[in-house]
Amino acid sequence: MGIVKAIMSSVGGGLADQWLEVIEPDEMSDTTVLVSGVPVRRDKRNGNVKGNSNIISNGSVVHVGPNMMMLLVDGGKIVDYSAQEGYYTVNNSSSPSMFSGQLGDAVADTFNRIKFGGTPSQKQQVFYINLQEIKGIKFGTQSPIGYFDNFYNAELFLRARGIYSIKITDPLKFYTEACPRSASRVDIKDINAQYYSEFMDALRTAISQMSVDGVRISNIGAKSRELSKYMATTLDDDWTGLRGIEVCSVGIEAITYDEESKKLINMRNQGAMMSDPTVREGFVQTSIAQGLQAAGSNTAGAGQAYMAMGMGMQGAGGFMNAASQTNAAQMQAQQAAQAQAQAAGGWDCSCGHKGNNGNFCANCGAKKPAPAGSWTCSCGQVNTGNFCQNCGGKNPDAAWKCSCGQENKGKFCQNCGAARP
């Protein structure tokens, strides 16, 4: 039993007059992975009203649409298939034709392992596998996932939620390993319980691998493409190798942290901010102002208020003064280092202004002079070597040696007149 590619001109001439049945896929949604073929009966001429419903009549036409694979099943076993768009006739006397289409030789190898030959059995069916990307499958972690972050040097815990998509890459494996035998229609949600559990296990493994690779916990949401690759690698044996499906993409909608992780992250971020002497000095001055304001608002009266302010200033003054002096010293050191770095990489203008960093003088606006020994190419690029950094052209003023032995500058040899090579 097999299928033969039909001639398109014959199809247009009238299928109802030439073939007993025309079989097309049942309605298929974005999340449908398998549907059965249904006969199209527009009038009595192309309806096989006397035939057995369990037998696909010899000469019947099977329509294969884009992004789908048709399976011709006899007695529950696949006897032929096609992933190429078009019309096919059922020929019970022919051997399988196996139109693999874009799926290539891998599907043919799978068929050779599960092929079935022989006379027609008790039940013949046509099924269609959806080869489009199945999108919008939601996921979410119920319990926090541990994540050691090298930047924070701590074990943090996060929850993630989002959506992912899959694609059926080997429909024959998918049909034999994943689809219920008695089902004439399968939606991804019908078989997703097992896959969802495996997906979440792989997600935890992938996130742990990202931790090992040094990805900061705050950057996971922006690493959807890398996470998809981690997932595909983790699920390769169980999904691709066994069931013929793979993860296409993983989209992270939200990353949340438990309360302890939030405290650690905030503490680390505050510490990073306080390492800046400018921020520290602002904190010191704000603390002094807030302390004086609190002391001055003493409800015991003006005398008590001024006494409280004086005691507060006397008690904290020594510490605040020392802290401010330390901050000021560090700020001056930073400014001096920045000025030194700018001066080292800057240029001096003819007006006397030194340490310019841009293309124009900060004092008079004069243009930055070209480096010594530089030349301008015909493309406009300023260069210092013998070749243009933009177009690769030669420096016309660079010295060159003629075959006669003469050292020259320019386009022609000063001795023999030969052109510059």
- Cα separation, 115 vs 375, whole angstroms: 73
Residue 104's pLDDT band, with cuts at 50, 70 and 90, is low
User: Among the listed ranges 20-34, 135-149, 305-319, which one has the minimum average pLDDT value?
Assistant: 305-319
Neighbours of 67 (CB within 10 A): 13
The model's pTM: 0.55
pLDDT in tens, 236-266: 777 888 888 888 888 888 888 888 888 887 7
What is the share, in percent, of the chain residues with pLDDT greater than 90? 8
Which range, 124-128, 230-234, 283-287, is most confident? Answer: 124-128
Cα separation, 260 vs 257, whole angstroms:
8
266-286 burial, b at 16+ Cβ within 10 Å, e below that, comes to: eeeeeeeeeeebeebbeebee
Which residue's entry shows tokens 């035939």? 51
Residues 6+ apart with CB under 8 A from 67: 130, 131, 132
Confidence of residue 119 (pLDDT cuts 50, 70, 90): very low
User: CA of 286: how far to CAs of 68, 294, 311, in Å?
Assistant: 68, 12, 18
Question: Rounded mean pLDDT of 1-24?
Answer: 56
Does residue 341 surpass a pLDDT of 50?
yes
| Residue 338 pLDDT greater than 90, yes or no | no
Q: How far apart are CA 304 and CA 301, in angstroms?
A: 5
pLDDT of residue 117: 45
Residue 228's closest CA among 143, 133, 153, 149? 133
C-alpha 195/C-alpha 325 separation (Å) is 63
Residue 132 has pLDDT above 80, yes or no: yes
Q: Report the greatest alpha carbon distance in the chain.
A: 113
More confident residue, 121 or 192: 192
Q: 152-166, 278-292, 384-398: which range is least confident on average? A: 278-292
Write the pLDDT tens digit of every residue in 51-94.
456 677 777 888 999 999 998 888 778 888 888 888 888 876 55
Judged on CB neighbours under 10 Å (0-12, 13-18, 19+), 297 is exposed
Give the end-to-end CA distance of the chain in Å, rounded to a whole number.
73
pLDDT level of residue 272 (50, 70, 90 thresholds): low
Between 379 and 166, the higher pLDDT residue:
166
Confidence class for position 365, pLDDT limits 50, 70, 90: confident
| Residue-level pLDDT at 309 | 53
On the question of pLDDT at 38 being above 70, the answer is yes
Average confidence (pLDDT) over 275-299? 61
% of the chain surpassing 70 pLDDT: 65
Q: What is the mean pLDDT of the chain?
A: 74
What stretches of 301-416 show up as alpha helix (H) in DSSP?
302-345
Instruction: Give counts: helices (H), strands (E), the chain.
Output: 9, 17
Which pLDDT belongs to residue 187? Answer: 93
134-262, which class in CATH? alpha beta
Residue 236 DSSP code = I
Pair 228, 207: CB distance under 8 Å: no
> What is the residue extent of each domain of the chain?
2-130, 134-262, 276-337, 382-421
Query: What is the rounded CA–CA span in Å between residue 20 and residue 53?
Result: 12
DSSP letter for 237, please.
I
